[in-house]
Amino acid sequence: MNIVFLGNCQTLTYAKYFSKLLSVDQVNWVCADCFQGLKPNDMWPTSVNLWGKDVVDNIVVMGSEKKHKLLSECDVVICQVFNEQTSYADNYQVLRKKYGNNKIITISNHHENLNGMLEREALYEIDIRTSSIYTDFPNQAKMLTHNHPNVFAILESIKMICNYLNISFFDSVQYNDHLNDNWYYNRFYHSQENIKRMKERRKNEK
Question: What does the alpha-carbon distance between residue 66 and residue 54 come to, in Å, rounded to a whole number?
Answer: 18
Q: Residue 17 — pLDDT band, cuts 50, 70, 90?
A: very high
Position 202 pLDDT exceeds 60 = no
Pick the closest to residue 54 from 4, 15, 21 (CA basis).
15
Position 194 pLDDT exceeds 60 = no
pLDDT of residue 37: 58
**What's the pTM value of the predicted model, to 2 decimals?**
0.86
Tell me the pLDDT tens digit for each residue of 55-110.
Answer: 888 888 877 788 889 999 999 999 999 888 888 888 888 899 999 888 999 999 99
pLDDT higher at 51 or 194: 51
